Amino acid sequence: MATLPAVQSHFPNRPQFQGFMKPCGVEGEAFNLEIEGKIPDEIDGTFYRVMPDPQFSPFIENDPWFNGDGNISAFQLKNGRASFKQRYVRTEKLTREREAQRALLGKYRNKYTDAVEFKIRTTANTNVVHFNGKLLALKEDAPPYAMDPVTLETLGLHNFDGQLPSLTFTAHPKFDPATGEMICFGYEAKGDGTPDICYYRIAADGTFLETVWLVSPVVAMIHDFAVTANHVVFPIMPQVCDIDRLKAGGEHWQWSPETPFYIGVMPRVGATAGSVKWFRHPNCFPGHVANAFEDDRGQLVVDIGVSPTNVFFWWPDANGNSPRPETIVSRLTRITLDPASEHLDILPEQVKTLQSSNSEFYRIDDRFAFGRHRHVFYDAMDPALGTDFPSIAPNLGGGYPLYNSLEHLDLETGKTSVYFPGRHHMVQEPVFIPRKGSTEEGDGYLLALVNNYATMGSELHLVDTGNFGETLAKVVLPIRLRHGLHGNWVDAAE
């Protein structure tokens, strides 16, 4: 066997491995965490979230944040108390690297750069959802890894008892609040560089209901998607893949300024390969979806973050150009589409900025998913709030977007409320927790992991949506958790 590429015993001298982004590497539990304020007794459930957290120093130059091993945190809130558990997903990658005591995986989504051959090379680092009694740790390049929701033990790669037809599985499945059905897709579904998209619906008991194969107009990233009562919507990011570049040891993704922002629309049930329509919007970067629904006239209304420039600045265009990170701005945008239209070019009047904040990581009250929503919660960056940038700058690390506040947008009144966690803090993605016994949309709590750059520790902040400016409770963790991606609240009743 060829000699393995050399690795260092310390992490690279790069922003994505420094300060708050220094790998955490911790597995374990902590009981009875320190709480400031009061967690309402009625809150009973667990907040699961995942962060990319490399176990070993990579042998890849400038390895991006998105390539770290999935480390799952579970915060249980019960009887006004909080406890914490954390475990890595036992992926094939993590397990084999632990045996070898070194990094074996090469570049992000480029198997041609690996030091050994993997069957499955996913890091399972992007989202964690609860489905049919299991946790599914997700990354869009592979099937899920299933985990035990209580012990966080990895049960193994999950192909739904052989029913999964796709090599890949989105990190953003959607759940029908009425039936519990999980609506999913995979892109590059027949392997790296393939334009194939596989769409599938899975009943709450894990039975596959339907599979549809389609072909994308470009081989490009489809990170999030949207579902309404009768349709599904695929927003395609102009980050494109080329198999020859991969084989030459290059990046999986390259920003393509010539490529429009394609939006695929097709029926949610009973579609065939020919049912999909590819709408075109001028080049831009589509981010996460807040929600989508059908209005009275049957038009699709998609609320999504849109940035005029490439948010994934670490994957530049063919000439090596990327925006400077501090210039990137994403805004919550409403795109309205007529699924019956033959006019596939999206006109300016179909696109409306809903809110001017630089924002991302939109969440709604999921009980209202696929229908008209009134309330949106998200991360926002507003330097005017008073963040002490000079003092925290040396601790920030890099390679990830910064948001210093949580916002609540009421689409009915047009009013925005702001939660500012403190002058030395940045926020991660929030989750919404409904108030017990209340069926009113958005009535409950918002819970988010917060990075405190003064203490270099993590905190959970709990906010009552009825009193958004105030901290209801702050859980102080005995540990620093790296910046992460997505998570979900699972009520104990589930």
Ligand X SMILES: C=Cc1ccc(O)c(OC)c1
Q: Establish if 254 lies at the interface with ligand X (CB under 6 A).
A: no
Q: Establish if 139 lies at the interface with ligand X (CB under 6 A).
A: yes
Query: 434: phi > 0 → left, psi -120 to 50 → alpha, else beta; which?
Result: beta
DSSP characters over 162-190: TT---S---S--EE-TTT--EEEEEESTT
- Out of 45, 52, 143, 173, the residue judged to bind ligand X by CB under 6 A: 52
**Least separation, in Å, of the C-beta of 246 and ligand X?**
15
Q: How far apart are CA 254 and CA 74, in angstroms?
A: 34
Which residue number, 52 or 397, has a Cβ lying nearer to ligand X?
52
Q: How far apart are CA 341 and CA 345, in angstroms?
A: 10
Is the sign of the CA dihedral 97, 98, 101, 102 positive or negative? positive
**Least separation, in Å, of the C-beta of 386 and ligand X?**
28
Q: Establish if 73 lies at the interface with ligand X (CB under 6 A).
A: no
**Least separation, in Å, of the C-beta of 64 and ligand X?**
9
Strands 226-227 and 174-175: unpaired
- Out of 485, 487, 488, 490, the residue judged to bind ligand X by CB under 6 A: 485
Is the sign of the CA dihedral 78, 82, 83, 89 positive or negative? positive
In angstroms, the first-to-last Cα distance of the chain is: 49
Q: Establish if 228 lies at the interface with ligand X (CB under 6 A).
A: no
Q: Establish if 125 lies at the interface with ligand X (CB under 6 A).
A: yes
Mapped onto helix, strand or coil, the DSSP state of residue 129 is strand
Q: Return the amino acid letter for 180.
A: G
Q: How far apart are CA 395 and CA 451, in angstroms?
A: 10
Q: How many residues bind ligand X (CB under 6 A)?
A: 8
Which residue number, 303 or 429, has a Cβ lying nearer to ligand X?
429
> Which helix (H) or strand (E) segment is 246 a member of?
helix 243-247
**Least separation, in Å, of the C-beta of 170 and ligand X?**
10
Buried-exposed string 183-208: b where 16+ CB fall within 10 A, e elsewhere = bbbbbbbeebebbbbbbbbbeeeeeb
Distances (CA, A) of 50 to 32, 80, 171, 445: 21, 24, 11, 20
The answer to whether 225 and 235 have CB atoms below 8 angstroms apart is yes
Which residue number, 76 or 125, has a Cβ lying nearer to ligand X?
125
**Least separation, in Å, of the C-beta of 286 and ligand X?**
11
Which residue number, 171 or 301, has a Cβ lying nearer to ligand X?
171
Q: Establish if 482 lies at the interface with ligand X (CB under 6 A).
A: no
**Least separation, in Å, of the C-beta of 108 and ligand X?**
7
Residue owning tokens 């000439």:
319
**Least separation, in Å, of the C-beta of 51 and ligand X?**
9
Q: Establish if 253 lies at the interface with ligand X (CB under 6 A).
A: no
Which residue number, 39 or 328, has a Cβ lying nearer to ligand X?
328
Which residue number, 235 or 442, has a Cβ lying nearer to ligand X?
235
Tokens of 366: 């999921």
C-alpha closest to that of 289 among 303, 278, 277, 299: 303
User: CA 21, 22, 26 angle in degrees (round to 5)?
Assistant: 110
Tokens of 425: 């803090």
**Least separation, in Å, of the C-beta of 140 and ligand X?**
6
Name residues contacting ligand X, limited to 53-72 (CB under 6 A): 66
Report residue 355 CA to chain centroid gap: 21
Residue nearest to ligand X (CB): 66
**Least separation, in Å, of the C-beta of 71 and ligand X?**
12
DSSP characters over 220-285: B-----EE-SSEEEEEEPSEE--HHHHHTT--S-EE-TTS-EEEEEEESSS--GGG-EEEEE-S-E
Mapped onto helix, strand or coil, the DSSP state of residue 245 is helix
Do the annotations mark residue 343 as ligand-binding?
no
Q: Establish if 223 lies at the interface with ligand X (CB under 6 A).
A: yes
Do the annotations mark residue 288 as ligand-binding?
yes
Residues 8-47 as x/- pattern, contact with ligand X by CB under 6 A = ----------------------------------------
Which residue number, 294 or 317, has a Cβ lying nearer to ligand X?
317
**Least separation, in Å, of the C-beta of 168 and ligand X?**
11
Which residue number, 76 or 126, has a Cβ lying nearer to ligand X?
126
Residues 76-115 as x/- pattern, contact with ligand X by CB under 6 A = ----------------------------------------
In this structure, the dihedral spanned by the alpha carbons of residues 206, 209, 213 and 219, taken in order and rounded to 10 degrees, is -40
Which residue number, 160 or 285, has a Cβ lying nearer to ligand X?
285
Q: Establish if 126 lies at the interface with ligand X (CB under 6 A).
A: yes
Tokens of 82: 């909080």
C-alpha closest to that of 366 among 309, 467, 291: 291
**Least separation, in Å, of the C-beta of 256 and ligand X?**
16
Q: How far apart are CA 182 and CA 488, in angstroms?
A: 14
**Contacts to ligand X by CB under 6 A:** 52, 66, 125-126, 139-140, 223, 485
Extract the annotated binding site: 172, 223, 288, 486
Extract the annotated binding site for Fe cation: 172, 223, 288, 486
